[in-house]
Amino acid sequence: MANRAYNFNAGPAALPLEVLQQAQEQFIDYAGSGMSIMEMSHRGAIYEGVHNEAQQLLRELFGIPDNYKVLFLQGGASTQFSMIPMNLLAEGKSAAYVMTGSWASKAFKEAKLIGNAVEAASSKADQYKRIPALSDIQIPENAAYLHITSNETIEGTQFTDFPDTGDVPLIGDMSSDILSRPVDISKFGMIYAGAQKNLGPSGVTLVIAREDLVSDSPKTIPTMLRYDTHASNNSLYNTPPSFSVYLVNLMLKWVKANGGVAAIAAANAEKTKLIYDAIDGSGGFYRGFADAASRSQMNITFRMPTEELEKQFIKESEQHGFVGLKGHRSVGGLRASTYNAVPFASCKALAEFMADFQRRNG
């Protein structure tokens, strides 16, 4: 489609045109049923097949071991901020958090409402421009788990490697970089992610968790906030966000058709390099926010000489079909979110626009 926007939104974010077209074709009549999948019972064989296929595709593409559960939940990653300590932070234990930016801070804030939560490391003193060194992470002896945010969408930083936590479960909020690169799932006790950046549309939250962590939740927690409720019912205890799960299924098939996670990671590196090169080669006209060693492959954050120029950049970019380049309101500046479904052509067009804008305003 010639009129597709250059979509750099941070979330909900770009979906592949092929996925949207397939959903459009199947919207009214799914699999010859005479119904949209939105109209079907989640107890029926057709929806359950889509649901189970999505789980299996995730296992295949992400290399999820057999002793892990794959759950489709609701409430976004923000609900997981509370569910995790409610289910896993026992009395006498501490929840340890690596403070890397806005989303890590929100998760930490919720944990402190539930029990004892401590900072294991922090880059706050450096304005969250970097990921703390793994050697700086201090896990308390009584730790129930260590929580990390693998990619900070607002600051534009990302873990390049993950800490070895031994017997302490490592929990990762991968909302903004899941399936963007291969990950050794066995290093984690739990991974969770909102779907609306790399997995599909908003409405469904993925949880990948070791069975021992989700098989016996405390009996004092409300039913819907217990992991064992969902683990023992194949995420079908209540009505799931069925259309969102269906679109996740289509998105996973798209990832597979495009070579799998390793191929997606190579494509991501190639396309984001275009924009980082435009920043680094600008002689200071564009300034990357994150330290080079901590730069995200998903969210490219940068500033310009003045806020007036930044506003002009946003205005002109919108006139040229670019969407979502304004930085988060809490930090300002500019941000290009280059998730899996953002095409190479969009990143190339942005790099060219940046060069042209600098020629005219530098």
pLDDT at 331: 85
Tokens of 140: 């308390």
Amino acid at 17: L
Tokens of 352: 């060219």
Placement of tokens 């058709």 in the chain? 257
Architecture in CATH for domain 18-257: 3-Layer(aba) Sandwich (3.40)
Which residues make up the CATH 3.90.1150.10 domain(s) of the chain? Answer: 260-361
pLDDT at 329: 84
Active-site hit among 103, 177, 254, 271: 103
Architecture in CATH for domain 260-361: Alpha-Beta Complex (3.90)
What are the phi and psi torsion angles at 166 (to 5°)? 60, -125
103 is catalytic: yes
Q: How far is CA 111 from CA 46, 108, 123, 266, in A?
A: 39, 5, 19, 35
Q: How far is CA 233 from CA 44, 192, 193, 318, in A?
A: 15, 18, 20, 46
Task: Report how far residue 253's alpha carbon sits from residue 45's, in angstroms, rounded to the nearest whole number.
Answer: 20
Residue 211 makes CB contacts below 8 A (sequence gap 6+) with 67, 68, 69, 231
Long-range contacts of 214-219 (CB under 8 A, 24+ apart): 214/69, 214/71, 214/87, 214/190, 217/87, 218/86, 218/87
Burial 139-150 (b: 16+ CB within 10 A, else e): beeebbbbbbbb
Task: Report how far residue 144's alpha carbon sits from residue 166's, in angstroms, rounded to the nearest whole number.
Answer: 12
pLDDT at 133: 98
* Ramachandran category for residue 345: left, alpha or beta (phi over 0 → left; psi -120 to 50 → alpha): alpha
254 is catalytic: no
Task: Report how far residue 84's alpha carbon sits from residue 171's, in angstroms, rounded to the nearest whole number.
Answer: 9
Active-site hit among 69, 173, 228, 326: 173
pTM flag (> 0.95): yes
Active-site hit among 197, 254, 271, 326: 197
197 is catalytic: yes
Omega before 305 within 30 of 0, i.e. cis: no
Instruction: Give the up-direction half-sphere exposure of residue 230: CA atoms within 13 A in the CB hemisphere.
Output: 23
Task: Report how far residue 255's alpha carbon sits from residue 184's, in angstroms, rounded to the nearest whole number.
Answer: 18
What is the chain's alpha carbon radius of gyration, rounded to the nearest angstrom?
21
- Beta-bridge partner residues of 121: 98
pLDDT of the chain along its 362 residues, tens only?
568 999 999 999 999 999 999 999 999 999 999 999 999 999 999 999 999 999 999 999 999 999 999 999 999 999 999 999 999 999 999 999 999 999 999 999 999 999 999 999 999 999 999 999 999 999 999 999 999 999 999 999 999 999 999 999 999 999 999 999 999 999 999 999 999 999 999 999 999 999 999 999 999 999 999 999 999 999 999 999 999 999 999 999 999 999 999 999 999 999 999 999 999 999 999 999 999 999 999 999 999 999 999 999 999 999 999 999 999 988 889 999 999 999 999 999 999 999 999 999 98
Which residues make up the CATH 3.40.640.10 domain(s) of the chain? Answer: 18-257
Amino acid at 204: V
Task: Report how far residue 98's alpha carbon sits from residue 121's, in angstroms, rounded to the nearest whole number.
Answer: 5
**Kind of pairing between the strands at 68-73 and 322-323:** unpaired
Placement of tokens 């998760």 in the chain? 107
Packing angle of the helix pair 45-62, 260-280 (nearest 10 deg):
60
